[in-house]
Structure 1
Amino acid sequence: MNLRPAVRITIASSAAVVLLGGCSATEPRQPTASSSASATTSVAPRPADLAKQRATAAYVGMWSDMADAAMTSDWQSPKLAQNATAEALQTISRSLYADHYNGLVTKGRPVNHPSVQAAEPPADPTTITISDCGDSTNWLKYRADNGQPADDGPGGHRRIEALVKKAVDGSWKVTTFAVHEVGSCSG
């Protein structure tokens, strides 16, 4: 490299300041803004925040599992029990069995917009109430034998309420949910 003498001195001085600026033989090193910020991001989430995240993931997972099983109306899919239990699992299984019995399958996927409405007890929740404005516009029933649309009406935005509970093994599962008529919310 062929740098002029003034430039060499400036570079060398800058490097020495950077190298020596962080070290001192007599003073302890003070945290910089960047090290303080990284320490903040490594703090474990609060139990309430973690519970809300996990309950919401279970809720969205339930709908995803149901959409997967609905492609063939597989009411016995083991995936259904991953995120749903009790009344919620029974409702899903019965619905899929009815579709199977009637020769229907469901194509597409629901779109969910869940939000946590309540968490009990507040500090370390074991029960989360979720509200959603689910969109079934592109998640419709078709005849399995010929692929023609079933006459079950158009999809749309529906208000959904769900109760998600922490299981004994620490997992979160939807225990019950209610889906209202098309147009009961606006997405």
Structure 2
Amino acid sequence: MPEGTSETMVSRAPAAEHAEALDAYRAMWRDLVLASETSDAGSPVLDDHATDGALELMKYGLREAKKEKVVSKGAPLVDPRVVSVTSQEVTLQDCVDGTDWLQYKLNGELKNAVPGSHTKADATVRREGKAWKVSKLYFYEAGSC
């Protein structure tokens, strides 16, 4: 293998890890949106891209929504940025735009007159075998970004 090829492969590896971790983070949100349409904490898609504390946080939120008899409609907009990278873990920060992802009562009425907001989120995406999954997820207060 030519000398430059080895260096190129090494320098591209972190970018590939970024992409895979970012894809897993975005997929986790798609999974949550799907489960939120019925507030289903038992949805089989939830662990496709999340594990550990992140998975438990999503399930907790869905259980609470079920107790309140609300479902979510729409979807948040995410635009994560990479904060740090190792071969096994990527740390992300995001400002989740929830203005078009609102909770509704089962009769179709909005839960309340409070609009969705922008919420700062920190996430850790960890390699599990060949897959990447969000393992840690922390949300700050509404309006934090």
Same fold, judged at TM 0.5 (above): yes
Number of positions where the alignment pairs a residue of Structure 1 with one of Structure 2: 138
Counterpart of 1:114 (choices 59, 69, 80) is: 80
Shift, 1:182, TM fit: 2.4
Counterpart residue type for residue 123 of structure 2: A
Shift, 1:49, TM fit: 1.0
Deviations 1:64-91 (A, max 9, x none): 1000110011111111101100011011
Deviations 1:24-70 (A, max 9, x none): xxxxxxxxxxxxxxxx9xx7672211111111111111111000110
Large movers: runs of 4+ above 4 Å: none
CA distance in 2 between counterparts of 1:116 and 1:152 reads 34
Counterpart residue type for residue 171 of structure 1: A
Alignment check: 8 A CA contact 1:72 1:105 kept: yes
Task: Return 5+ residue gaps in structure 2 as ranges.
Answer: none
Counterpart residue type for residue 170 of structure 1: K
RCO greater where, 1 or 2, for CA within 8 Å and sep 6 or more? 2
1:165 equivalent in alignment to 2:131: no
CA distance in 2 between counterparts of 1:156 and 1:131 reads 16
Partner residue, 2:40 = 74
Partner residue, 1:102 = 68
CA radius of gyration, larger in: 1
The structure with the greater share of residues assigned to strand is 2
Aligned residues with identical type, % of pairs: 35
In the superposition, the TM-score normalised over structure 2's length comes to 0.89
Partner residue, 2:115 = 154
Q: CA RMSD in A?
A: 1.7
SS at match of 1:46: helix
Task: Return 5+ residue gaps in structure 1 as ranges.
Answer: 1-39
